[in-house]
């Protein structure tokens, strides 16, 4: 770092703003490299003080400052700020400034995505548009007038309702927008461009008509229908499940190609990564369809949880994100398979979230200290944040939870709130004491629940002893006991459920674990039971219970909670992997335990089970998740053991895989949950068949596929199984789709995650592909991100060349797009479980990055913690 070290901000230092801004009138003259902005605010002093007005601003060319219409020079420009020392009690502030959207490669603030202008203001991008109080607790009514060339930019969009428009003599035109809802600057949006527009409407439950408009690149209209259906489904779901209705007359979604993340919930004008809008049967997979539905839902649900009630400060981010992820998960679960959704959430928790919690960036869902806010849009804030909301839902039940949500929204409507406000409303509405529960907001790390049991035949008592312990994290050495909802069921050894009885009364399945040590004595248990623990993943913890393989096999077969059936298989697999690692280290051959083989066979033959669940049960955890089972492990050994296990399962069950494949062919392509489940199972089977060398089936599926799920399913099977036909498929796919970036991303991703020692050089070659560009975040994630995160074996090569590749890319992105750089960095800072040799290779690369002359705050924050 050449300059002074970046400043840390602390949650405890929160102070209300010295000034309020009640209205902001923006006048924006769009030009590619010299956009001019006039920002007129009504400013009001907050309380009695003589503090200066300090506005935020970055990369702005200031033209003039006026107070009540009179230009002034009484200001100072600091690094990132504009300070006005003497200002009246209430006044009109006019700021004129200039920016260069065409040079904005960081994609924060106002930038060009291809031919269109668009904005991204969360968390602190608005300060790259004009000087302002860029903090979420300053809520103003915005009006926005946009002027631009009429030919190039026929659509000029902003938040709220369109209140005026006109044509000028010089070929330019303007549109005026007025947003009636006060909002923080991070929810501001502007889009200008030429699009195809899909229009529809929605009548709310109270009978108001809302216009719905989806803007996509020209020629993509036929790919917007699913997004529109998803939007209407989201609106209906929020009315039906949460009694929440939309509040403006228009809802717009714009799909852009250059976007740092998934999408953004700007009031009335969502801006989306095109990946989460566009879908048609030829180009989108079944999972793409589900992702579009989920993300459209997520951004829509923010209209209440995020926009109507926003965050007081950025430390409270999980207030809107954890809650909104919970809402989108419930939406997807109500529309599709609840169990399969739960499994995919849990995979994320146990893989990358647990890794984050165990790494140098560990932080509570409500962080205490931040250098760069963009670094805290994390799996912890989002996914663990959602788990915390889910635990509340489990403890309170649907009715009390909805009452709490309604109370929170009604009490804080139009305000900026805190996580404490949310929990207070939940507690008040339900009458539950949530004091201990609140510790989840302030404590980082993954708790370990150690459960032991005892059965006394004479008294028919079954005792569960529960011990909770959260290992220390880098920023928080001391941990306190948490309130953990532990959902349990008991089964006899014949698989019959046992009714639960505690203290002489029938008991609920959810045990309140509050202390470090606790025991629960179940009465009238006829024989030693098999416990199903942590049903539905009732808390984001690691479970330690000494299950035997027989017990797991039983649960996989009989558990009434489907999640437990899946989880039992996962535990069987984990046990096998642990055992085979030991054998490998002793130079002994790996084993495939009978119990695991039987469970796979029974699952394959089970005619009653949902096929999508079957597909999940038959899928092995990835290498990164397996790494979480060990204190330290050799990643190469893990990958080898995992591969051997897959190979054994493929060969030992060959006829069953063949049968499953044939039984699940879908005659015509339909996008419904039933057929999606068939395809998921069929493609899982094909993956195993490829390992057994079934080139014929794989090639036939590729050649005859009439949809992207099947084309990619075949190509993935061929690549993972290293079948010869993969070369033909890859080149055919490239020819067919080279004009379509989103589709070709699948092709990049597949090659980046291919097994084999030449993958790294392949990735380097693909970086030269004409459609690859470091300036497009989607391409970077598809090739570089997929290689570093999704191909641990090759990324962590002992010759260090995987680390070199990432380091080179990070050096470039540090200058052009620090946010994307910072996300890519993750696998390089989570090295705690790797062997010493790899750790030292990684440290040397991190030190190299640390020495960069203009290291961004984003990278600085993470690297300095990792090297600490």
Q: Which residues make up the interface to ligand B3K (CB under 6 A)?
A: 122-123, 261, 263-265, 298-299, 302, 321, 374, 377
Return the SS3 of 241. helix
CB 583 within 8 A of CB 593: no
**Residue 612 interface partner, choices Zn ion, ligand B3K, none, CB cut-off 5-8 Å depending on type:** none
Q: Do residues 301 and 238 make contact, with C-beta atoms less than 8 angstroms apart?
A: yes
Residue 794 or 856: which CB sits closer to ligand B3K? Answer: 856
Segment holding 453, helix H or strand E = strand 448-456
Spatial distance between the Cα atoms of 784 and 804, rounded to a whole number of angstroms: 12
Among Zn ion, ligand B3K, none, partner that 123 touches (CB below 5 to 8 angstroms by kind): ligand B3K
CB-CB contact of 387 with 539 (8 Å): yes
Residue closer to ligand B3K, measured from CB, 115 or 261: 261
Could you give phi then psi for residue 313, rounded to 5 degrees?
-150, 170
Q: Which does 238 bind (CB under 5 to 8 A by kind): ligand B3K, Zn ion, none?
A: none
Q: Measured in Å, how far apart are the chain's first and last C-alpha atoms?
A: 16
Shortest gap between Cβ of 13 and Zn ion (angstroms)?
25
Report the C-alpha gap between 709 and 294 in whole angstroms: 18
Least CB distance to Zn ion at residue 317 (A): 9
As measured in angstroms, the least distance from the Cβ of 266 to ligand B3K is: 9
Query: How far apart are alpha carbons 157 and 165 in whole angstroms?
Result: 11
Q: Which does 538 bind (CB under 5 to 8 A by kind): Zn ion, ligand B3K, none?
A: none
Shortest distance, CB of residue 332 to ligand B3K, whole angstroms?
15
Give least dist CB 600 to ligand B3K, A.
38
Determine the 3-state secondary structure of 754 from DSSP: coil
Residue with tokens 């030992």: 652
Which helix (H) or strand (E) element contains residue 701?
helix 695-704
Which of 122/357 has CB closer to ligand B3K?
122
CA dist 348 and 329 (Å) reads: 13
List the beta bridge partners of residue 110.
Answer: 119
Give, for 345, the enclosing helix (H) or strand (E).
helix 338-348
Report the residue number, 263 or 284, with the smaller CB distance to ligand B3K.
263
Which of Zn ion, ligand B3K, none is residue 858 near (CB under 5 to 8 Å by kind)? none
Alpha carbon distance 842, 820 (integer Å):
20
For this structure, is 478 an active site residue?
A: no
Cα–Cα distance list, 384 to 356, 362, 450, 548, 825 (Å): 11, 12, 20, 29, 21
**How many residues contact Zn ion, by CB under 5 A?**
2
For 107, 381, 401, 443, 479, the CA distances from 388, given in Å and listed in that order, are 31, 10, 13, 12, 17
Residue 377 contact partner, candidates Zn ion, ligand B3K, none, CB within 5 to 8 A by sort of partner = ligand B3K
DSSP string, 523-583: ----SPPEEEESGGG-SS-EEE----HHHHHHHHHH-SSHHHHHHHHHHHHHHHHHHHHHH
Which of Zn ion, ligand B3K, none does residue 261 bind (CB under 5 to 8 Å by kind)? ligand B3K
* CA distances in angstroms from 181 to 28, 248, 304, listed in the order given: 20, 9, 12
Cβ(187)–Cβ(265) under 8 Å?
A: yes
Which residue from 751, 674, 697, 742 is spatially nearest to 720, judged by alpha carbons?
Answer: 751
Task: Tell me if 572 sits within 8 A of 547, measured CB to CB.
Answer: no
Q: Cα dist. 720→609, 699, 706, 748, 789 in Å?
A: 27, 14, 22, 14, 16
Strands 196-203 and 209-216: antiparallel
Name the token pair of 135. Answer: 């903090």
How far is residue 717's CA from residue 714's CA, in Å, rounded to a whole number? 5
What does 866 interact with, of Zn ion, ligand B3K, none (CB < 5 to 8 A by kind)?
A: none
Picking from 806, 811, 825, 822, the residue whose alpha carbon sits closest to that of residue 854 is: 811
Give the SS3 label for residue 587.
coil
Which residue in 108, 122, 299, 562 is the catalytic one? 299
Alpha-carbon distance 617 to 570, whole Å?
Answer: 8
Region of 437 on the Ramachandran plot (φ > 0 left; ψ -120 to 50 alpha; else beta) = alpha
> What is the residue whose two structure tokens read 């996300």?
823
Cβ-based neighbour number of residue 185 at 10 Å: 25
CA-angle at 135, arms to 131 and 140, nearest 5° = 75
616 binds, among Zn ion, ligand B3K, none (CB under 5 to 8 A by kind): none
CB of 377 to ligand B3K, least distance (A): 5
Could you say which of ligand B3K, Zn ion, none residue 453 binds, taking C-beta under 5 to 8 angstroms by partner kind? none
User: Helix (H, G, I), strand (E, B), or coil: what is residue 150?
Assistant: coil
Q: Among residues 374 and 470, whose Cβ is nearest to ligand B3K?
A: 374
Listed residue (435, 431, 365, 345) closest to 396, CA to CA: 431
16-37 burial by CB neighbour count: b if 16+ within 10 A, else e?
eebbbbeebbbbbbbbeeebbb
Residue 610 token pair: 């949902």
Contact set for Zn ion, span 300-339 (CB under 5 A):
321, 324
Q: Which residues bind Zn ion (CB under 5 A)?
A: 321, 324
Residues assigned a catalytic role: 299
């Amino acid at each position: 770092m050449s300059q002074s070290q970046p400043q840390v901000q602390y949650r405890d230092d929160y102070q209300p703003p010295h000034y309020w801004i009640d209205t902001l009138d923006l006048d924006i003259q769009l030009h590619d490299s010299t956009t001019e902005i006039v920002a007129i605010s009504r400013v009001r002093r907050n309380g009695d003080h003589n503090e200066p007005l300090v506005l935020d601003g970055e990369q702005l060319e200031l033209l003039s400052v006026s107070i009540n219409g009179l230009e002034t020079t009484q200001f100072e420009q600091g690094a990132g700020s504009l300070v006005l020392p003497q200002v009246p009690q209430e006044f009109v502030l006019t700021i004129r400034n200039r920016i260069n959207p065409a040079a904005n490669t960081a994609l924060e603030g106002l930038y060009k995505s291809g031919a269109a202008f668009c904005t991204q203001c969360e968390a602190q991008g608005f300060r790259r548009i004009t000087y302002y109080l860029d903090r979420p607790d300053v809520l103003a009514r915005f009006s926005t007038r946009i002027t631009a060339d009429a030919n190039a930019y026929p659509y000029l969009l902003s938040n709220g309702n369109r209140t005026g428009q006109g044509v000028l003599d010089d070929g330019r035109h303007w549109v005026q927008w007025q947003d009636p809802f006060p909002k923080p600057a991070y929810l501001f949006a502007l889009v200008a461009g030429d699009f195809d527009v899909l229009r529809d409407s929605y009548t709310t439950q109270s009978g108001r008509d809302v216009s719905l408009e989806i803007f996509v690149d020209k020629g993509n209209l036929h790919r917007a229908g699913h997004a529109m259906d998803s939007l209407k489904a989201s609106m209906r779901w929020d009315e039906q499940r949460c009694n929440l209705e939309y509040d403006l007359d228009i809802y717009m979604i714009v799909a852009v190609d250059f976007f740092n993340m998934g999408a953004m919930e700007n009031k009335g004008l969502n801006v989306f990564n095109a990946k989460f809008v566009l879908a048609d049967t030829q180009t989108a997979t079944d999972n793409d369809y589900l992702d579009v539905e989920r993300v459209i839902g997520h951004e829509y649900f923010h209209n209440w949880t995020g926009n109507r009630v926003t965050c007081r400060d950025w430390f409270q981010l999980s207030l809107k994100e954890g809650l909104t992820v919970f809402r989108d998960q419930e939406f997807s679960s109500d529309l599709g398979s609840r169990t399969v959704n739960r499994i995919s959430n849990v995979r994320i928790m146990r893989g990358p979230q647990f890794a984050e919690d165990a790494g140098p960036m560990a932080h509570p869902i409500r962080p205490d200290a931040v250098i760069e806010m963009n670094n805290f849009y994390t799996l912890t804030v989002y996914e663990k944040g959602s788990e915390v909301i889910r635990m509340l839902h489990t403890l309170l039940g649907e009715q009390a939870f909805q009452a709490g949500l309604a109370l929170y929204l009604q009490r804080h409507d139009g305000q900026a709130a805190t996580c404490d406000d949310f929990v207070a409303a939940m507690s008040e509405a339900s009458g539950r004491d949530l004091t201990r529960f609140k510790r989840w907001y302030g404590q980082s790390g993954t708790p370990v629940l150690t459960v032991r049991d005892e059965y006394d035949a004479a008294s028919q008592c079954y005792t569960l002893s529960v011990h909770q312990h959260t290992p220390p994290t880098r920023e928080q050495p001391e941990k306190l006991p948490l309130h953990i909802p532990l959902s349990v069921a008991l089964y006899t050894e014949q698989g019959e459920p046992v009714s639960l009885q505690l203290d002489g009364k029938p008991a609920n399945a959810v045990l309140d674990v509050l202390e470090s040590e606790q025991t629960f004595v179940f009465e009238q248990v006829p024989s030693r039971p098999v416990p199903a623990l942590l049903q539905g993943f009732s808390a984001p913890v690691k479970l330690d219970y000494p299950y035997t393989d027989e017990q797991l096999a039983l649960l996989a077969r009989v558990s009434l909670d489907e999640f437990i059936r899946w989880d039992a298989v996962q535990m069987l697999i984990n046990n096998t992997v642990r055992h085979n690692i030991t054998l490998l280290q002793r130079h002994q051959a790996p084993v495939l335990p009978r119990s695991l083989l039987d469970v796979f066979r029974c699952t394959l033959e089970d005619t009653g089970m949902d096929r999508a669940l079957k597909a999940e049960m038959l899928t092995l955890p990835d290498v990164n998740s397996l790494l979480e089972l060990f204190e330290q492990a050799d990643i190469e050994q893990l990958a080898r053991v995992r591969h051997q296990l897959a190979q054994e399962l493929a060969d030992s069950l060959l006829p069953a895989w063949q049968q499953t494949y044939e039984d699940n062919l879908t005659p015509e392509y339909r996008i419904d949950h039933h057929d999606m489940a068939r395809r998921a199972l069929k493609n899982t089977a094909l993956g195993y068949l490829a390992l057994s060398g079934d080139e014929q089936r794989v090639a036939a599926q590729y050649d005859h596929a009439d949809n992207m799920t099947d084309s990619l399913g075949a190509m993935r099977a061929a690549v993972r199984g290293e079948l010869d036909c993969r070369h033909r498929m890859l080149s055919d796919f490239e020819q067919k789709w080279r004009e379509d970036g989103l589709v070709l991303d699948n092709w990049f991703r597949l090659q980046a995650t291919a097994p084999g020692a030449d993958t790294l050089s392949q990735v380097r070659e693909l970086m030269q592909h004409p459609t690859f560009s470091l300036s497009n975040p989607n391409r970077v994630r598809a090739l570089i991100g997929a290689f570093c995160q999704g191909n641990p074996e090759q990324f962590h090569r002992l010759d260090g060349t995987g680390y070199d590749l990432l380091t080179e890319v990070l050096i470039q992105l540090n200058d052009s797009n620090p946010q994307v750089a910072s996300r890519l960095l993750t696998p390089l800072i989570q090295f705690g479980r790797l062997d010493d040799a790899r750790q030292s290779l990684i440290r040397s690369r991190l030190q190299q990055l640390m020495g960069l002359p203009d290291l961004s705050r984003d990278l600085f924050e993470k690297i300095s913690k990792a090297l600490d």
